Amino acid sequence: MTDTISIRRATREDVPQIYALVRGLADYVKEAHLLKGTEEDLLRDGFDDQPRFRCLVADDGTGTLLGTVIYSANYSTWVGRSTCYIDDFFVSDKARGKGIGRRLMAAVAAEAVAEGHGRISLTVLDWNPAREAYHSLGFEHEESALRYTVSGEALSKLAASVD
């Protein structure tokens, strides 16, 4: 199975399957109720003239996607260069344990190095068994860092408070 699987850049035509994988991730982490993005959002933000994110997929050779990784660049003053942030990374149940996740991560790493990014980062829920896989790839858990977010009504309220 793995010898026919290719890792490639996603296309507009892949979006329905990519979105299904994103939904699969939301279900897996028990946060489907938080998923607000749509296929239309993916099309608009990832496949226009100035994409806000990039996406790689694992294709089984027949056009069926087995995994996806969605990532974007940001800047770190601590690193002193741009960095790569992985927002979504998911391999379907039937494809796990076949090295597809490692191949997707290696492809992102190759792009990050080629583009001069100084780091790849991602967020993982503390109970997720995939943490061991990330450790095996060289990722390190930052004990002292806590993730904070603001969104929805709280984001709007904060934005409205500008002087």
Residues sharing a CB contact under 8 Å with residue 80, sequence separation 6 or more, in sequence order: 118
Token output for 140: 């390190």
Residues sharing a CB contact under 8 Å with residue 112, sequence separation 6 or more, in sequence order: 84, 120
Task: Phi first, then psi: give them for residue 15, nearest 5 degrees.
Answer: -55, -45
**From 19, 28, 134, 148, active-site residue:** 134
Report d(CA 161, CA 144) in Å as an integer. Answer: 30
* Catalytic site includes residue 134: yes
Give, to the nearest 10 degrees, the angle between helix 39-46 and helix 15-28: 120
Closest CA to 141 of 119, 117, 122: 122
Residues taking part in catalysis: 134
